[in-house]
Amino acid sequence: MLPSGMPVQPRTPQGVIELLPPQQIAFQRMLDTIRRGFERFGFLPVETPVFELSEVLLTKSGGETEKQVYFAQSTGALKEGKAPELALRFDLTVPLARYVAQHENQLNFPFRRYQIQRVYRGERAQKGRYREFYQCDIDVIGKDTLSISYDAECPAVIYGIFAELNFGKFTIKINNRKLLRGVLTAYGVPLEKHADVLHEIDRLGKMSIDEVKARVKTVIEANTDALVDTLTNFSFDTLPAQFPDNADIAEGEKELRAVYDQALALGVPATHIAVDATIARGLDYYTGTVYETFLDENTALGSICSGGRYDNLAGHYTKSKLPGVGISIGVTRLLSFLVDDPAWGASASTAQVIVLAVDANLRSEYLRIGTELRAAGINTEVYGSDDKLGKQFKYADRAKVPLAIIMGGNEHKTGTVKIKDLRVAMDAAQKELELPRAGLVAKVKELLA
């Protein structure tokens, strides 16, 4: 496209994340922890293509999402001026619906899948908005029915993962949309105003109770304060007694209690899960349990793991009724919080040992040492050229490799080898020990343990 020989400024598009290797290693460990957490509960992996047929992806007409969709077309189609046949996924839920409907007869229900892939949205470039970001989702999809026990599993999965990720104390907030509907109806909010009221109530946490009450008043006139107070003061003991004939409240409360109790039985500590009757979580999609998760010390980050129960996953693609429940971890949001911490990922390396090349004549020996260590399961790099030792140490230090192996002609003659612990700062007194060559693997394992 440009005259050859003229260099192009190397840069990424706006709104994408690209990490340097140490941060990529730390991010990869985060994804591995999440995946392990999903598999610990027996969720099954699914990957879908980055693009779907536009006609299949965009079944809903209009809407906010469609404005943000990226379309893809090859050079040929572009030249012919055709409408784009392909579009990039903007979430993992629509591809899941398409996947389950398409492969329905070959899946085992309840179908428990996890999916960790990137999604694409044509967002305006601004801080915290990404055009490409990761989603890590689990969903359990039933055929016709799905037990409330699956709703209780979600907080247990969240707890397991965030406890291991160790980003500080967190709280999983749960609520139930049936209960919300019951309370709103009990206070005389007409059904067509529910979404607007919930939209205002969702601002609790960002705004004070009084501010929210004032906003709710702009939607409905009567009972505003009592309604908001009822939700903010919710307890299992008082609410159903207060509205004895409200079937939605009774059912919502029963489900919420089952989710809460079973989550405790699944090992979620009472310190990490709380019913919050003000959480609404989206407006149309969810029909029962809803979840949000906050880092206690960083609530401004917003919910880092959210989800809920829905009545029917794939109505656009199949006549089967497929109720489901699921959660999504916002890893890119977490990442935006982590990368501001200079310590995060700074000391990450994949290699655990580097074999330095002290004497060009001993290269085969170095290669054999590397092979021996790898055979013992130790990630090992052998320095490839015969640069001065100072340059090799500088490389090893920047790479944050924990241990260096040094064997010069003298050591080789006497059948010994030296190990230098690079985790000690370079200018401090350095740990270095000499030992018989035969004991190398065992000693390295000991030092790394």
Q: Which of residues 126-145 bind its own copies (CB under 8 A)?
A: 132, 140, 145
**Tokens 């470039």 belong to which residue?**
125
Part in contact with its own copies (CB under 8 A); list of ranges 169-177, 227-235, 270-278, 344-352: 344-352
Q: Which is nearer to its own copies, 103 or 423 (CB)?
A: 103
Nearest approach, Cβ of 323 to its own copies (angstroms)? 12
d(CA 221, CA 285): 27
Encoded tokens for 13: 């598009």
d(CA 295, CA 162): 10
Cα–chain-centroid distance for residue 115? 10
Residues 50-109 interacting with its own copies (rule: CB under 8 A): 50-56, 58-61, 66-78, 84-86, 88, 97-99, 101-103, 106-109
Residues 210-239 interacting with its own copies (rule: CB under 8 A): none
User: Closest by alpha carbon to 69, among 82, 58, 80?
Assistant: 58
Nearest approach, Cβ of 209 to its own copies (angstroms)? 36
Q: Residues 137, 139, 153, 255: which binds its own copies (CB under 8 A)?
A: 153
Residues 110-129 interacting with its own copies (rule: CB under 8 A): 110, 112-113, 118, 120, 122
Part in contact with its own copies (CB under 8 A); list of ranges 169-177, 191-199, 380-388, 414-422: 380-388
Nearest approach, Cβ of 89 to its own copies (angstroms)? 11
Ramachandran angles phi, psi of 293, nearest 5° = -135, 130
Query: CB–CB of 386/358 below 8 Å?
Result: no
Q: Residues 208, 242, 371, 410: which binds its own copies (CB under 8 A)?
A: 371
Contacts of 356 (CB under 8 A, 6+ apart): 366, 383, 389, 392, 393, 396, 404, 405, 406
User: Closest by alpha carbon to 279, among 300, 293, 298, 259?
Assistant: 293
Nearest approach, Cβ of 133 to its own copies (angstroms)? 10
Q: Which is nearer to its own copies, 217 or 374 (CB)?
A: 374
User: Closest by alpha carbon to 338, among 36, 24, 5?
Assistant: 24
Nearest approach, Cβ of 85 to its own copies (angstroms)? 7
Nearest approach, Cβ of 197 to its own copies (angstroms)? 25
CA 414 vs CA 362, 420, 437, 438: distances in Å: 14, 18, 9, 12
Part in contact with its own copies (CB under 8 A); list of ranges 183-191, 283-291, 392-400, 415-423: 392-400
For 63, the enclosing helix (H) or strand (E) is helix 63-67
Nearest approach, Cβ of 389 to its own copies (angstroms)? 15
Q: Which is nearer to its own copies, 146 or 290 (CB)?
A: 146
Q: Residues 347, 350, 414, 430: which binds its own copies (CB under 8 A)?
A: 350
Nearest approach, Cβ of 13 to its own copies (angstroms)? 5
Contacts of 99 (CB under 8 A, 6+ apart): 46, 48, 113
For 337, the enclosing helix (H) or strand (E) is helix 331-338
Residues binding its own copies: number (CB under 8 A): 120
d(CA 281, CA 195): 11
Residues 6-45 interacting with its own copies (rule: CB under 8 A): 7-13, 16-21, 24-25, 28, 39-45
Part in contact with its own copies (CB under 8 A); list of ranges 230-238, 265-273, 304-312, 333-341: 265-273
Rounded to the nearest 10 degrees, the angle between the axes of helix 194-201 and helix 209-219 is 160
Give the DSSP letter of residue 207: B
389 lines the binding site for its own copies (CB under 8 A): no
Part in contact with its own copies (CB under 8 A); list of ranges 173-181, 193-201, 219-227, 398-406: 398-406
| Identity of the residue numbered 123 | E
